Amino acid sequence: MADISCKLLVIGAGPGGYVCAIRAGQLGLDTVIVEGEADGGTCLNVGCIPSKALIHAAEEFEKARHFASENQLGIRAGEPSIDLGATVRWKDRIVSRLTGGVGALLKKAKVRSVRGWATFVDGKTVSVATSDGAVKIRAENVVIATGSAPVELPFLPYGDKVMSSTHALDLREAPGRLAVIGAGYIGLEMGMAFAKLGSKVTVIEAADRVLPGYDEELTRPVAKRLKSLGVDVLTSVKARGLSSAGDALETDGPDGAKSIPADKVLVAVGRRPLTEGWGREELVLDMNGPFIRIDASCATSMRGVYAIGDVTGEPMLAHRAMAQGEMVAEIVAGERRSWDKRAIPAVCFTDPEIVAVGLSPEAASGAGFEIRTEIFPFAANGRAMTMEGEAGFVRAVARADNGLLLGLHAVGKGVSELSAAFGIAIEMGATLDDVAGTIHAHPTLGEALQEAALRTLGHALHI
């Protein structure tokens, strides 16, 4: 393969990288994207998309088991079974369609794709190891979008018994006994899915409660659901390693050492930025702890070198990376852009789901705001009742003086779909009166947003 020169080189075809390349191509920039594995990165291949496929299959299986016995809907069905291998093949077909779609979109935008591992030679040049040999790519501008990888515990290396979420998504049968280390969103999403598939699940968490990244009011319905699923949750507990026989996870906690029988152990203690293995030592990049330091334009300390996505820090979310990638492409094309987002939605696909946009009551008070905040429970929402989804609520957090919304949050069945409405309201500077005065369709879960605003104003209609 001949050496290549281009206006923009994007390293990594995850959500941030491929969106950056597509937008650059649309703007007429001569763009090359390099990816060592499959287009779509972690999110499409081994993260967001396949995990939601597994979660959906687990929910449908649990629903089928529910209808095999007496229930309030009056539905009767036979005893269900599941072929997890078939489920995984279905999941893989979805992934294949999406990753193939990314390739088609890159081609449509006239982006040149190079398959191989890129290593920096200098700030404008990389050497890519491809199946046809090494190729050098020289670019006027470079975007580092190398993403992140699961954190591996040194005393629990990945192998036959110990797995990351990536390995868990390819299991052909649900383990009889599953120990999950970490009660963050990845650990609980996967743990709850396997509990629904029939595994006996134990979750251990070093913090004193589950989902420590969310405020406790939002996580209570999830903790209650964990109990109803038969999931054992051990908080303020740390893992020490596998037992000598390899059939149990050894832990330490307030009650001393404990051995948790386990056929498989899922390690879900976070992700680390991929800042090694691509020649960072050849560059002079300022770092922010383990992350690449960037400014409001995603520019690094080196002229013409940008970084986006997980490699730049929290929150490690695909939609953050996408927004950064689009912005950087427009900056390179000469447009005036900067990162001025007011809030980035965070969604936890547990059962029930959680969505958070903006400041929690505690964070808003801590930032010096005098606030008004109220919740509207789904138990008073007609649509939630018809979905057997009464657990949970929508919460509004606003300034006390002018009603400006500082945060919108929800926990409940299907609330991930409210994230767009929440994001628009916060991004556009909506007030409680704006939301309360907007007609919301009936019967929908979205009515709870209007009702939460009304209740915070002091005149809720349906509670």
Measured in degrees and rounded to the nearest 5, phi and psi for residue 418 equal -85, -10
Edge-to-edge order in the sheet of strand 346-348: 346-348, 353-358, 405-412, 393-399, 371-377
Amino acid at 14: G
Q: Report pLDDT digits (tens) over 210-229.
A: 999 999 999 999 999 999 99
Nearest to 146 by CA among 252, 36, 67, 28: 36
Residue 155 CB neighbours (<10 A): 11
By DSSP bridging, strand 353-358 and strand 405-412 are: antiparallel
> How many whole angstroms separate alpha carbon 97 and alpha carbon 117?
23
The DSSP annotation for 215-255 comes to: -HHHHHHHHHHHHHTT-EEEES-EEEEE-TTSSEEEEEETT
Angle at 178 between CA 175 and CA 180, to 5 degrees: 145
**Whole-number Å distance between alpha carbons of 253 and 266:** 19
pLDDT band at 70 (very low <50, low <70, confident <90, very high): confident
Average pLDDT over residues 88-113: 97
DSSP code at position 124: T
| Cα→Cα distances 54→10, 120, 166, 302, Å | 31, 37, 12, 42
Dihedral sign (CA 183, 189, 195, 199): negative
Please count the CA atoms within 13 angstroms of the CA of 270 that sit on its side-chain side. 12
**Which is nearest to 359 in space by CA: 350, 368, 189, 432?**
368
The DSSP line for 152-211 is PPTTS-SSSSEE-HHHHTT-SS--SEEEEE--SHHHHHHHHHHHHTT-EEEEEESSSSS-
In sequence order, which residues have a C-beta less than 8 Å from that of residue 429 and are 6 or more positions away? Answer: 342, 404, 405
In contact, 106 and 99? CB cutoff 8 Å: no
The pTM is what?
Answer: 0.95
Look up tokens 């209808």; give the residue: 67
Tally the C-alpha atoms within 13 A of residue 326's C-alpha that lie toward its C-beta: 7
Distance CA 327, CA 23 (A): 9
Domains of the chain, earliest start first: 4-149+272-332 (3.50.50.60), 162-269 (3.50.50.60), 346-457 (3.30.390.30)
Query: Looking at residue 278, what is its pLDDT?
Result: 97
Count other Cβ atoms within 10 Å, centred on residue 165. 23
> Averaged over 271-295, what is the pLDDT?
97
Reported confidence tier of residue 45, pLDDT bands at 50, 70, 90: very high
Cα separation, 337 vs 308, in Å, equals 14
Q: Which residues pair with 259 in a beta bridge?
A: 250
CB atoms under 10 Å from CB of 338, counted, come to 11
Cα gap 213→187, rounded to integer Å: 13
Residue 402 CB-density burial (10 A; 0-12 exposed, 13-18 middle, 19+ buried): exposed
- Distance in angstroms (rounded) separating the CA atoms of residues 196 and 59: 7
Residue 403 has pLDDT above 90, yes or no: yes
The answer to whether residue 319 is catalytic is: no
Q: What pLDDT, on a 0 to 100 scale, did the predictor assign at position 430? A: 98
d(CA 306, CA 328): 8
Contact 330, 23 (CB under 8 A): yes
- Check residue 261 and give its pLDDT: 97
**pLDDT higher than threshold 80 for residue 120:** yes
Average pLDDT of every residue of the chain: 97
Q: Which amino acid, 357?
A: V
- HSE of 69, CA atoms in CB hemisphere, 13 A: 4
Q: Which residue has 């470079």 as its token pair? A: 142
For the stretch 153-175, pLDDT in tens is 999 999 999 999 999 999 999 99
Torsion 19-152-214-386 (CA) sign = positive
| Residue of 56, 319, 409, 442 with catalytic role | 442
Q: What is the pLDDT of residues 335-377, one digit of tens each?
A: 999 999 999 999 999 999 999 999 999 999 999 999 999 999 9
Give me the pLDDT at residue 110, please: 98
Please say if the pLDDT value at position 1 is more than 70. no
Residue matched to tokens 């050497």: 127
The stretches of 27-150 forming alpha helices (DSSP H) are 41-46, 48-67, 84-108
Instruction: Please say if the pLDDT value at position 2 is more than 90.
Output: no
* pLDDT, position 109: 98
